[in-house]
A and B are shown apart, each in its own frame.
Chain A
Amino acid sequence: MRIGEIVESTSTHFVAESLDLGRPPELGRLVKVHLAEDRDLCAVVCHGETGSLDPGRRAVRRSTEEVYDDQVYREHPQLEHVLRTQFTSLAVGVIDKEVVHQGLPSQPPPLHYSVHGCDEEETTRFTQDLYYFRLLLGVPVRIPVELVLAGHLRWVYRGRGHDEEWLQVAAREVAKLLKQDYERLATVLYAIERDT
């Protein structure tokens, strides 16, 4: 199912405009881009934002005493056309003819290509190997990557049907990667713990 279209593309990440205003894919979710017949680029959503289409203009208050929240959108249908939601995704690997290769893609994905959500089967297949955690922790992003990682782990855990064993293995992998920095590690692990 298409959830977005790529509007910026680099070797490490791409920015896509969400098809649904105000509803980008969840933080940490796995998404994919069909590069070719059997080739999908996989990426992890690490940021979302909604704002004015025109970078010069900013959103203004439109609610009143009687009209607020979702009623604002019904009252002002033109908002659909002046606002847009974007989400950023970090590239983590490619699935080529059903074989998973984790790492940066050799080329950035083409602009205007569609972004799709990954289903349960694709998620399970991709997350068998946890090497891609290094990519998530290595690339600089705008929000603390520990929180993205925590979100991602929670999402995958649910997506794999509450797979306790995977969660434990993933937690150890994160611990190995962040062993020099206990505070960052604790941020990730406590975040997951509270939720599961």
Chain B
Amino acid sequence: MRRTRLGLVTGGTFKTGLGVRLDADCTTEDLRVGEMVVIEGASNRYFGMITDMQLQATDPRLLASPPEAGSTLLAQALTGTVNYATVEVKPMLMLELKADLDEQRGPGPVRTIPMHFAALRKASAMDFDTVFGKEGGTNFAVGTPVPMDIPIRLRLDRFVERSNGIFGQSGTGKSFLARVLLCGVIRTRAAANLIFDMHSEYAFDKQTEDGHFVRGLRDLFGPQILVYSLDEGAAARRNVDVTLAVGLNQIEAEDIMLLADELDLTSTTAATAGLLGDQYGKEWLRQLLAMSADDVAEFCQSSGAHPEATRALQRKLRGVQRRAYLKEEAPFSLIDEMVAALGRGRSIILEFGRFDNPLDYMLVANIVTRRIRRLYQQKMERFEETKAETDRPPQLVITLEEAHKFLNPAVASQTIFGTIAREMRKYNVTLMVIDQRPSGIDPEVMSQLGTRVTGLLTEERDIDAVFTGVGGRSFLRGALASLDTRQQVLLMGHAVPMPVVVQTRTYDEEFYRAVGSSGSWTEDREINATDIWGKKQ
């Protein structure tokens, strides 16, 4: 195997990284900031990332009078001798080389640095396999390093065991990346998924900006995917399995807190919901909606609530009440069945149809998730008692868009999503949040996100936010800034041994074949109830 040498280590420190002088025949334009490279020390192999590049000269007088235009001999003699280039490399992983192959372990954290003149070379396919693992199990290829054709694999088992974030400004292809990751999770059965699909893009075929169609998850995975919809009308047109109805009885005070911005409520008004809850318990909403002016006054007397706030709350919630999917009362069994299906390893997509506005999205997502998490908590507690494998609830990943609306500092401590994010994997429920404004997410939640996949970000605040809780951010900023606007992401965190820049896999025919779907599932197959819920209806 030919390993091309790029240069030699000439300086640097453990803290800041190593300086490498490039060989005379190696040009900076052959390398990229953010690229993975390998330094061969005497006893260790170091896998690192290029974090900076510099141009140098041994004699500054050269720079004052550079070679004349026609002086090819001079220019060629000077390159690599008087004027030369250096790159900064931050080692991220270290492999202790053992003479005896049986003793050889995998790469681990960096604990030392190589001596002067250790060679730097490009990473080969074998290096990527060593670091990211071979194909198989829950290792799933998500893309390639930018200039090469070698797969970079994500450890999906580690990906799903913590909450994660997909970030990037609009147009960077977040929803495609989400599709790729979800296909990976479903294909490798790393976890069950619940996807709150605000714009109804994941289940069925969708037309992209460029005009061509991309396959939906239902088309690719058939009965493994269940499609729920909030919108009855839309459900009739599409191949939806269940129409979800939500009841007023399922709305809790915390939902109103979450929706304070969307409903344009002051904090006092929002807090009134809490007071109503204290007084009326589960029936608080129906009581509120049914109150007459006198009832309101009476309530305010007894509870100390503000009359104007209470009336304002009543007005706003009457508006919400009119939504077609909201019934007076809805059984929790609908949601419980979702959990049963998830328990059998199915994945569920909840489409919002015409209710694709933030208010409905947040309300329903919150209600459904709260119920599901409660059930999961019960299951986990039972499992901890019985310790029987069959009682263990399968890992669940909840995909959430517009995450900053659910996880901003004002509401993060109050919503179920904030709780899930902070709990890590306590009840086997984690989040996959998709957002273009990571600065809008509570820093404490952000630091709990295990793996972050980020596309190009230009706002300083967003860049700072996405690196919250990540070590070595100063090196990674250069890599983040070097990303292309589309299809390139920086992958870092729990699911990858070291941060890496990835050209994401294209979501196309080749990909569909790779995830193993044989033809479309939509029209030709009959999906019956036994398939879905595994029991007779």
Residues of A within 8 A of B (CB): 167-168, 171-172, 174-176, 179-183, 185-186, 189-190, 192-193, 196
Contacts and interface: CB of A to CB of B under 8 A. Distances in A.
B24 A172 contact: yes
Given A182-B59, A182-B62, A175 B81 contact: yes
Contacts of B73: 167-168, 171, 189, 192-193, 196
B71 interface: yes
B77 A179 contact: no
Contacts of B77: 168, 171-172, 174-175, 189
Contacts of A181: 59
Interface in B55-91: 58-59, 61-62, 65, 71, 73-74, 76-78, 80-82
Contacts of B80: 172
Contact of B61 (A174, A182, A189, A193): A182
B309 to A, nearest CB: 78
Interface of B: 24, 58-59, 61-62, 65, 71, 73-74, 76-78, 80-82
A10 B476 CA distance: 62
A176 B82 CA distance: 7
A180 B74 contact: no
* Chain A interface SS verdict (over half): helix
A179 B21 CA distance: 15
B71 A190 contact: yes
A193 B74 contact: yes
B82 A179 contact: yes
A189 B67 CA distance: 10
Contacts, number: 47
Contacts of A185: 78, 82
A167 B77 CA distance: 10
A172 B81 contact: yes
A185 B81 CA distance: 11
Most B CB atoms within 10 A — which of A183, A186, A190, A196?
Answer: A186
A171 B78 CA distance: 9
Closest 5 CB pairs of A and B: A171-B77, A175-B81, A182-B59, A179-B58, A175-B77
B71 A175 contact: no
Nearest to A176: B81
B56 to A, nearest CB: 11
A183 B77 CA distance: 14
A144 B81 CA distance: 22
A172 B76 contact: yes
B81 to A, nearest CB: 4
Given A172-B81, A186-B65, 4 more contacts: A175-B78, A179-B82, A180-B59, A186-B74
B331 to A, nearest CB: 83
A167 B24 CA distance: 17
A189 B74 CA distance: 6
A20 B422 CA distance: 97
Contacts of A168: 73, 76-77
Given A172-B81, A175-B82, A176-B81, A183 B61 contact: yes
Nearest to A181: B59
A183 B61 CA distance: 8
A171 B82 contact: no
Contacts of B76: 168, 171-172
Nearest to B62: A182
Contacts of B24: 172
A192 to B, nearest CB: 7
A157 to B, nearest CB: 11
15 contacts: A167-B73, A168-B73, A171-B73, A172-B76, A175-B77, A175-B78, A179-B58, A180-B58, A181-B59, A182-B82, A185-B82, A186-B74, A189-B74, A190-B74, A193-B73
